[in-house]
Structure 1
Amino acid sequence: MTHTARRRTLTGITTAGLLAASLGVAVATPATAAPRPTTFGTCKISTLPYPADTYRADANAIDPTGRFVAGSALRKEGTDNHYLLLFWDGDRLTEVEAPSVATPADVNADGVVIGNGWGGNGPGQPWRRYREGTVELLPVVPSFTGVSVTAINKAGDIVGLGTDVNTGEYVGLRWPATRPGTVEVLDAPANAQPKGITDNGTIVGSAGEFAAWTSWVRRPNGRYDALTVPGAQTAQVNTAAGHWAIGHVDLNGSWDKVRWNLRDGSYTMLDQQLEWLGDVNAKGVVVGGDRVARSAISRVLPGGGDRVTIGARSISDTGTIVGFRNAERVTPVRWTGC
């Protein structure tokens, strides 16, 4: 049975130069282990419960255990759009009205969801929702604009970024779980954009000027190493889980998709049939577009077809995938056994 908690509201909630030149660089080499046979189970798609009076709903993130999912939706009343946040605990749905545009970014194994929302022309306003339903606004740096969060780990440490209004540069940020109510500026490379944080505190991100991006990994001891591929003109990392990170590299004008092993900097080129990179789990399985990939081999997820679009956004360590299906109406979906 589907249980829905209706119409809770957020009103009144509590309040690039070359990176290798400046970092200790681990030499990146292709992964040399012999390829193992890739097998896929019986992959099935199902629709997550969602409010019937919305005209679009999406599942944005799933936690590593596969239990908690966070998404968003739009409800139209008259000429106005009403923004909703959707939280699933298994198949139990909780619907929360948002005062403005709000999108979940990530959820950890304890069911803590982080996300971003903007109001007016002010700085970005990231938020955190605890499993029991309490939502709070995260602190921001007063001199920063466009503040946003990108990832949370099991301990509750959060990373994100903002733009320094004085320099116009991106600055990496961290909200440490051990110091609630605080935000700190990371001693990251110039124009840093943290994109992921693993359970041991390893952070990955990109840096540098537009079209001259480099990528980096910050170890728990504070050391920085580069994430790259020999011959790459630029590199951008998307996210990380376990000892894996995924991103793109520019090799002679081709924007190739790659997976890095954070232990030694080695890399594997992913199946370029992936339309985009959505997520990677702790086992190194990658999703994006209408595909799921294990190393250089991928398969098409079920549910798409003629005039029907599907998109995989996030994958748990158990292999459960969430995203959307657009068949005249955008709906949140879940894939299992893939």
Structure 2
Amino acid sequence: MTHTARRTLAGVTAAGLLTASLGVAVSAPATAAPRAAALGTCKISTLPYPTDTYRADANVIDPTGRFVAGTALRIEGTDNQYLLLFWDGNRLTEVEAPSMASPADVNADGVVIGNGWGEGGNGQPWRYRNGRVEQLPVVSSATGVSVTAINKAGDIVGLGRTIDTGESFGLRWPAARPGTVEVLDTPANAEPRGITANGTIVGTAGDFGYWTSWVRRPNGRYDALTVPGAQMSYVSEAAGHWAIGHVDLPDSIWVPVRWNLRDGSYTTLDPQSPSLEDVNAKGVVVGADRVVRGATSRVLPGASDGVGIGTRSISDTGTIVGFRNGERVTPVRWTGC
């Protein structure tokens, strides 16, 4: 039985509302590709969602596959009402939210982090836990503060930008020190993109279009994430000992790549999956309408003439969430794929 609960953000108490030089890692083709699931078991289903909404989407899923978070848009007369959607299994909770608030990640304890806008149009990250939305603290000297990832322990990473130059730098909200935010000693113009269970952080650095990628070990050491001959690398997500992103090579641009964070080795992924959305702790990747295991990919079910699908996130159990776009955009879940 599906249960839906409704809350408003205004009715929720806000309490504490959310350089080292780069080393060179070994780069060599990785082995031991994740095993594919049986073709006949892959199924798509629609997540419960508010039926009076114009669109609804499932953005993130936790590693266990239990918790999902997404967004919805309800059109009421001349006004639009944005909603945050939180699923615990098939139990749905709606929270009315300010314009364009969106989830960024969720951990195995069901803690969701996301981004919105504060006074003056500045970034205001938030955290949802125990049925409450709270603002995360920000750095007063920064603008554009946002969160990108949370791990099992509850450590959160994100970024801010200096007010005078607009250069980005890494931030961490440590679970061990609630209500605090710290500036990380990241490379110049850095953007942390993911954090794993043991506190390993991955991210990018450099000017737009000239990115380099890095991994910050729990002991504070930095190593590069790259591919031999790459003119640019961009890492976007991490889980377990895997990270995903893209590199530009002399004869090909925006090549999808999966790195092994233990030794810096890499695998180039199926070029039919140029868009990478997420990776799980087993190294399985999702992007666009595909799931990628090893160097091969397969199209997920659910699309047809006039109906498109898109993946957003994958759990360690293999459950995938995303959207289907037909007469309206609806949140969906794939299992057994």
8 Å CA contact retained: 1:290, 1:301: yes
Once residues 12 and 48 of structure 1 are traced to their aligned partners in structure 2, the CA distance between those partners, rounded to angstroms, is: 25
8 Å CA contact retained: 1:10, 1:99: no
- What is residue 6 of structure 1 aligned with on the other side? 6
1:150 aligns with 2:154: no
8 Å CA contact retained: 2:54, 2:329: yes
Q: Which residues in structure 2 correspond to 1:37-48 (within 5 Å)?
A: 38-41=36-39, 42-48=41-47
Once residues 90 and 39 of structure 1 are traced to their aligned partners in structure 2, the CA distance between those partners, rounded to angstroms, is: 22
The verdict on how the C-alpha distance between 1:124 and 1:321 changes in structure 2, with shifts beyond 3 A counting, is same
- What is residue 70 of structure 1 aligned with on the other side? 69
1:335 aligns with 2:309: no
Once residues 168 and 254 of structure 1 are traced to their aligned partners in structure 2, the CA distance between those partners, rounded to angstroms, is: 27
Once residues 11 and 336 of structure 1 are traced to their aligned partners in structure 2, the CA distance between those partners, rounded to angstroms, is: 35
- What is residue 116 of structure 1 aligned with on the other side? 115
- What is residue 200 of structure 2 aligned with on the other side? 202
SS at match of 1:140: coil
Once residues 244 and 225 of structure 1 are traced to their aligned partners in structure 2, the CA distance between those partners, rounded to angstroms, is: 14
8 Å CA contact retained: 2:34, 2:293: no
Q: How far did 1:117 drift?
A: 0.5
8 Å CA contact retained: 1:61, 1:314: yes
8 Å CA contact retained: 1:100, 1:119: no
Once residues 34 and 320 of structure 1 are traced to their aligned partners in structure 2, the CA distance between those partners, rounded to angstroms, is: 21
Q: How far did 1:36 drift?
A: 7.5
Q: Which amino acid is 2:181 matched to? A: V
- What is residue 305 of structure 1 aligned with on the other side? 304
8 Å CA contact retained: 1:115, 1:127: yes
Q: How far did 1:122 drift?
A: 3.0
1:186 aligns with 2:178: no
Once residues 224 and 241 of structure 1 are traced to their aligned partners in structure 2, the CA distance between those partners, rounded to angstroms, is: 17
Once residues 24 and 321 of structure 1 are traced to their aligned partners in structure 2, the CA distance between those partners, rounded to angstroms, is: 35
Aligned-residue Cα RMSD (Å) equals 1.6
- What is residue 295 of structure 1 aligned with on the other side? 294
- What is residue 225 of structure 1 aligned with on the other side? 223
Identity of aligned residues (%): 77
The verdict on how the C-alpha distance between 1:36 and 1:109 changes in structure 2, with shifts beyond 3 A counting, is closer
For normalisation by structure 1, the TM-score amounts to 0.95
Q: Which residues in structure 2 correspond to 1:84-123 (within 5 Å)?
A: 84-119=83-118, 121-123=120-122
C-alpha distance after superposition, 1:80-108 (max 9, x if no partner): 11000000000000000013221000000
Once residues 34 and 326 of structure 1 are traced to their aligned partners in structure 2, the CA distance between those partners, rounded to angstroms, is: 35
Once residues 300 and 4 of structure 2 are traced to their aligned partners in structure 1, the CA distance between those partners, rounded to angstroms, is: 28
Once residues 88 and 38 of structure 1 are traced to their aligned partners in structure 2, the CA distance between those partners, rounded to angstroms, is: 27
Q: How far did 1:34 drift?
A: 6.4
- What is residue 264 of structure 1 aligned with on the other side? 263
- What is residue 173 of structure 2 aligned with on the other side? 175
The verdict on how the C-alpha distance between 1:37 and 1:166 changes in structure 2, with shifts beyond 3 A counting, is closer
Once residues 110 and 59 of structure 1 are traced to their aligned partners in structure 2, the CA distance between those partners, rounded to angstroms, is: 18
Once residues 320 and 38 of structure 1 are traced to their aligned partners in structure 2, the CA distance between those partners, rounded to angstroms, is: 13
Once residues 46 and 71 of structure 2 are traced to their aligned partners in structure 1, the CA distance between those partners, rounded to angstroms, is: 14
Q: Which residues in structure 2 correspond to 1:268-279 (within 5 Å)?
A: 268-279=267-278
SS at match of 1:310: strand
Q: Which amino acid is 1:112 matched to? A: V
8 Å CA contact retained: 2:254, 2:274: no
C-alpha distance after superposition, 1:204-238 (max 9, x if no partner): 00000111100000000000000000011000000
SS at match of 1:256: strand
- What is residue 249 of structure 1 aligned with on the other side? 247
SS at match of 2:333: strand
Once residues 160 and 280 of structure 2 are traced to their aligned partners in structure 1, the CA distance between those partners, rounded to angstroms, is: 26
SS at match of 2:305: coil
Number of matched pairs: 332
The verdict on how the C-alpha distance between 1:36 and 1:292 changes in structure 2, with shifts beyond 3 A counting, is closer
SS at match of 1:75: strand
Q: Which amino acid is 1:152 matched to? A: I
Once residues 301 and 105 of structure 2 are traced to their aligned partners in structure 1, the CA distance between those partners, rounded to angstroms, is: 24
Once residues 80 and 140 of structure 1 are traced to their aligned partners in structure 2, the CA distance between those partners, rounded to angstroms, is: 30
Q: Which amino acid is 1:98 matched to? A: A
Q: Which amino acid is 1:193 matched to? A: E
SS at match of 1:25: coil
The verdict on how the C-alpha distance between 1:324 and 1:275 changes in structure 2, with shifts beyond 3 A counting, is farther
Once residues 47 and 251 of structure 1 are traced to their aligned partners in structure 2, the CA distance between those partners, rounded to angstroms, is: 39
Q: How far did 1:35 drift?
A: 5.9
8 Å CA contact retained: 2:214, 2:222: yes
C-alpha distance after superposition, 1:150-195 (max 9, x if no partner): 0000000000001111232001100000000000011000000000
- What is residue 141 of structure 1 aligned with on the other side? 139
Q: Which amino acid is 1:160 matched to? A: G
SS at match of 1:212: coil
